[in-house]
Amino acid sequence: MRQLNVIWLTVIVMLLAGCAAPKPSAKSEFYLLSAPPLPHRQIDLSSELMVVGPVTVADYLKRASIVTVRSKNHYDISKLDQWGGGIEGEIQLALLKNLSSLNADNTYVRYSGLANSVGAYNLRVDVLRFDANLNGDARLEASWAWIDKDRKVVSAGLYSKTNRAGSTIEQSVAAQSELLKMLSQEVLTGF
């Protein structure tokens, strides 16, 4: 009988020790917007320098965490799903790559990336909405303007589109990347 009590006591201690052992915490996932790679070519120094930026985003987006829509007035801020970089910089880089692949006639650089970024034209973008719900659509709303070196607006527009998003964060980020590509096409045709 004593031996049976020792066995039971040992089993109980092992079970309690297993419950007290630290459990691995959930891992953060990091996401980047996708865009075509920069084309490999020599830069024509006589081509017009097109500066992409500054890009500003709405305050609710200024965070590392990815924001998803639960309802019209309710947003979720993920604790584990995060942008791989600052969202303003990620949007600016995606726009630069998209514009460079869509139009080889001009040279595109990031705002404050080269020689104080003084160019023939400057693309400014204010992102008002950039989010998705996990069972519906990704959304991008932005205002944009091409400004010449004399600080005159030569072309401007409002952009508001949705794109079908999947049921995962990765699919939503892909849909948001596609929206940025469509915005790039629109700002080129509006120029």
Q: What is the pLDDT of residues 152-181, one digit of tens each?
A: 999 999 999 999 998 999 999 999 999 999
Q: Which pLDDT value is given to residue 148?
A: 92
Name all domains of the chain by residue range, CATH numbers in brackets.
48-189 (3.40.50.10610)
List, in sequence order, every beta strand (DSSP E) within the chain.
29-31, 49-57, 65-71, 74-83, 107-110, 121-132, 137-148, 153-164
Strands 29-31 and 74-83: parallel
The angle at the Cα of 189, spanning 184 to 190, to the nearest 5 degrees, equals 95
- Percentage of the chain exceeding pLDDT 70: 83
Contact 169, 162 (CB under 8 A): no
Between CA 51 and CA 38 the distance in angstroms is: 15
Q: How confident is the model at residue 81 (pLDDT cuts 50, 70, 90)?
A: very high
Q: How confident is the model at residue 72 (pLDDT cuts 50, 70, 90)?
A: confident
Q: How confident is the model at residue 189 (pLDDT cuts 50, 70, 90)?
A: very high
